[in-house]
Amino acid sequence: PPVGWMNDPNGLSKIRGRYHVFFQYAPESADGRGMHGWGLYTSPDLLVWTYEGMKIYPDAPFDEDGAYSGSVVPEGKGFRLYYTGNVKHKDKAYDYISDGRESNTVLIRSEDGIALGKKQVLLRTEDYPAEFTRHIRDPKVNRTEKRYEMFLGGRLKGDKGAVLRYQSADGENFSLEEILTTKKPFGYMWECPDFFRLDGREYLCVSPQGMPHERYRYQNRYASGYFEGAVSEDNFREWDFGFDFYAPQTFWDGTRRILYGWIGMPDAPYDNLPTVAEGWQGALTMPRVLTAGKRGLLQNPAPELESLRGRELSAEEESDSFELLLRSIAPGTRVELCGALSLSFGESEVVLRFFSPAGRGREVRRAATAAKCARIFLDVSVCEIYLNDGEAVLTTRLYPECYTLRIDGDCLCRRYEMLPLHYRE
């Protein structure tokens, strides 16, 4: 957005032929303080975007401390919009985990896809199961042929993450169907749930908090990923292995499943001073098309983005926005971006490393992948790296002082200037 703070993608949908990308928005500051609601961009083609402004304000008693994340269900010419209304009591000291917080599930209907109707509270804090703390949020609602399904992220008492699965015949009166969780604790909180079916398989997506760090897994402060089939500890795959990726959401546009993620990380010990100085902070990934692979889901940029390719660039030319295609990558190959970030290809891993202050305190991330090909996108302060045709992805923010490129090793490469997306206000 032009000013302020952007985080989680919300309400992703295609309505009346236009893509809708809502997002968590705090317009009053670039550090996330102040009023939290929903902003909106729309597009007919994923290339030309119109900023529609802030659409949901925290202006009711049941959402006075934030209109938090949620989802949209298209219906006819309009849609149903579900979100979490956050309330934090301030009359005395609370821990805001076991008490002091309200998490209300709220519905807004739009009959024409433009005007929003009145807010309607569907579930209040006292309606949730007693075994949960006050941390329940982020409704993802899907409509099947027979019913509506709603998935809410939650934190059980005893600090165990879980998802509450509700069902409804009318999209307003929901009853609890089951609680989805692992046998052993798998993080203390599951945020931003999502659920979809693709090529006959079921996927439950969550962003677990509190995972112990490993060399190749859960390297960031918080994780994001999905269970394919059974909800078990050994059946979880992460979406992204870079420094900055969280809270993704998917939607069906009529022909394909598309994902957007927030290029950020909650509570990360770094700051984005260059953008804060300009009055804004936050970005979303490129739209990623999901397909089923042999070892999990594949993520690849929407093919519409290929129309943004400009002239072919040599490796010596400086550019702050380009697509780099690498094929037949030999182990030992190393790519250096902007004098700040390196990508090293090994026999069985790919290592992303900051070696300058541009990392803002971050150092290294790894993907356990024997990469033979890669697509690397640089867009001023964002880098997205797609390995082996979407088998693994690494996303990060960076704030370099130059835009050089160096490639050492053996590989085939082509590099294209990336033309900018078009934005209208």
Q: In what order do the strands lie in the sheet with 160-168?
A: 132-143, 148-156, 160-168, 175-180
As a whole number of angstroms, the distance between CA 128 and CA 373 comes to 47
Question: Of the listed 8, 63, 138, 244, which one is catalytic?
Answer: 8
> 113-136: b or e for each residue (b if 16 or more CB lie within 10 Å)?
beebeebeebbeeeebeeebbbbb
Residue 194 known to be catalytic? no
Calculate the alpha carbon distances from 28 to 128, 263, 354, 368 in Å.
32, 20, 31, 41
Whether 175 and 167 have beta carbons less than 8 Å apart is answered as: yes
As a whole number of angstroms, the distance between CA 67 and CA 84 comes to 6
Calculate the alpha carbon distances from 96 to 58, 133, 256 in Å.
19, 9, 39
What count of other Cβ atoms lies within 10 Å of the Cβ of residue 184?
8
Catalytic positions are: 8
